[in-house]
Amino acid sequence: MNIKTMKQFMARLFMVAAVVMLSACTMMRATGDMGVVIERATGSVSIIETTNRSILGRVENLGDLSHATVVYSRDQRYAYVFGRDGGLTKIDILNRSIAKRIIQSGNSIGGAISQDGRLIAVSNYKPGGVRVFDAASLELIADIPATYGKDNQLSKVVGLVDVPGQQFVFSLYDAGEIWVADFSESKQPKLKKFKKIGRQPYDALITSEGRYYIAGLFGEDGLALLDMWNLENGVKRIMNDYGRGKEKLPVYKMPHLEGWAMTGDYAFIPAVGRHEVLVINRKDWQEVKRIPVHGQPVFVMASPDHHKVWVNFAFPDNDTLQIIDTATLKIEKQLKPGKAVLHMEFTPKGEEVWVSVRDENRVRVYNTRTYEEVAQLEMKKPSGIFLTQRAHRIGL
C-alpha cells in the first residue's frame, strides 16, 4: 500500500466512522415524550414523539396486531407488544428495532409488566392460561394453565393487570373465576383463586392506585369487584343493572373496561348497547346520572386534570368524539375526526390528546383546551396509541 492509496483508505474509513457516530448521536435522546402507535393492517408500529409531534421511525414484522396492546419497561426503552397471534415482541424504541420476538402461544389477548419491571405476563386464549417471561431475555419463567372443572378444561384468560406487591390478577372467561398470582417470594407464584364470580368475565380494570380490580360480565349483568387490600373478603357484586340487560340489545362492540374514567368522586362508564355514559358514585357504586351521547360508547377516558371525559363510539357512529365536562356532567364539545376513531391517548400532563382515525390513515392531535387540531400524522390504519408514561403507572 503506498501513501496515496493509504490516504484514500483513511478518508473512506473516517467517512464510515463519522456516519456511524452521527447515527449513534441521533439515537441519543430521552424517552419521556415517546410512544408507539399500532398499525394493525400492516403488522407494524410507528414510533412517535409528542414534543414536536413527529414520527421517528417504524418497526415492522410484528405479526397479527388486531387488538394489540403494549406495556413499557421501567426505563421506557422497550415496548412489549402483545399480538393476537401469540406473538410477544420486545421493541427497542431508541434503536427502532426488534430486540427479541417469540411466539408464546396460539392466541393471546393482552399482557402486563410486574411492579419491579422484571416479569412480563401474557394472558392467552389458546392454550388458556397465563405465561410469565423474564423481561430482559423473554425466557419462560412460569406457566399458569387456567384449569377448571372436573375435567381440567382450560379457560380463556382476560383482564390481566399488574398489582402492587409483585402480583398479577386475571379473569377466567369460561370458568367464571378471578385468580391472583403472587410473585413476591418466588418465581413460581402463589395462586389465590376466587370462584363463581359471575358468568363470562370478558375484560377488567384496576383502579389507578392498584386497589380495586373490577371485571365486566358478558353472561349476566353486574360487575365483579375484588379489593386487593382485603382479599379475605372475596369478590363482591356491584352495579347489578350494568350489562347487556334483559332485552339483550344488539351490542356492536363490548366497551373496554380499561376505558373507564375515574375522577375524584365519579366513575364515568360506557353503557353496554345504549347511547349513554353512566356516572357512578365511586363510594357506593350507585348511579348518579345517565348522560345521553352520540352512539354506543367504547372508550370513556378522563383527561389527566380530571376536568373532561373524552368518549368515542362503536360503528356506525365511530367518526365522532364527544367531550363531557365532569363538573357540569354535560357534553361541552363534539368533534368529527373522521371514519373509525379507534383510540385516544393524552399527553402526560394533558395539554394535548392523540386520536387514531383508522380509515383516514392518520392520527390527529388536538389541543385539549381550545379543541384545535395542532397536527396530523400519516400512518397505516392506526389503532392503539401508547405513550411511555405508562411505564410509571400501575395497571397499564
**CA–CA separation, 294 vs 351, rounded Å?**
25
Nearer to its own copies, 70 or 146 (CB): 70
**CA–CA separation, 50 vs 352, rounded Å?**
9
| Nearest distance in Å: CB 317, its own copies | 29
CA torsion angle 356 273 179 186 (round to 10)? 10
What one-letter code names the amino acid at 298?
Answer: V
Nearer to its own copies, 30 or 288 (CB): 30
Contacts 24+ apart (CB under 8 A), 266-271: 266/326, 268/300, 268/302, 268/309, 268/324, 268/326, 269/242, 269/300, 270/296, 270/297, 270/298, 270/299, 270/300, 270/311, 271/242, 271/296, 271/297
| Nearest distance in Å: CB 14, its own copies | 8
Which residues, in sequence order, are bridge partners of residue 357?
341, 362
Nearer to its own copies, 152 or 328 (CB): 328
Nearer to its own copies, 252 or 371 (CB): 371
| Nearest distance in Å: CB 55, its own copies | 16
Footprint of its own copies (CB under 8 A): 1-3, 6, 10, 14, 17, 20-21, 24-25, 27-34, 49-51, 72-77, 93-94, 115-117, 162, 164-166, 184, 209-211, 229, 263-264, 304-307, 327, 347-351, 369, 388-389, 391-394
What residues have CB less than 8 Å from 328, skipping those under 6 apart? Answer: none
| Nearest distance in Å: CB 90, its own copies | 13
Decide if 344 contacts 318 (C-beta within 8 A): no
| Nearest distance in Å: CB 253, its own copies | 29
| Nearest distance in Å: CB 103, its own copies | 26
Nearer to its own copies, 7 or 289 (CB): 7
| Nearest distance in Å: CB 31, its own copies | 4
**CA–CA separation, 218 vs 244, rounded Å?**
7
| Nearest distance in Å: CB 211, its own copies | 7
| Nearest distance in Å: CB 359, its own copies | 30
What one-letter code names the amino acid at 90?
Answer: K
Q: Identify how many contiguous H helices and E strands the chain contains and give both numbers.
A: 1, 34
Residue tagged 417504524 (cell numbers) = 58
Nearer to its own copies, 33 or 276 (CB): 33
Nearer to its own copies, 143 or 265 (CB): 265
State the DSSP string of 31-82: STTEEEEEETTTTEEEEEETTTTEEEEEE------TT-EEEE-TTS-EEEEE
Q: Integer distance in angstroms from the first to the last C-alpha of the chain?
A: 61
Residue tagged 334483559 (cell numbers) = 246
Nearer to its own copies, 244 or 364 (CB): 364
Nearer to its own copies, 280 or 342 (CB): 280
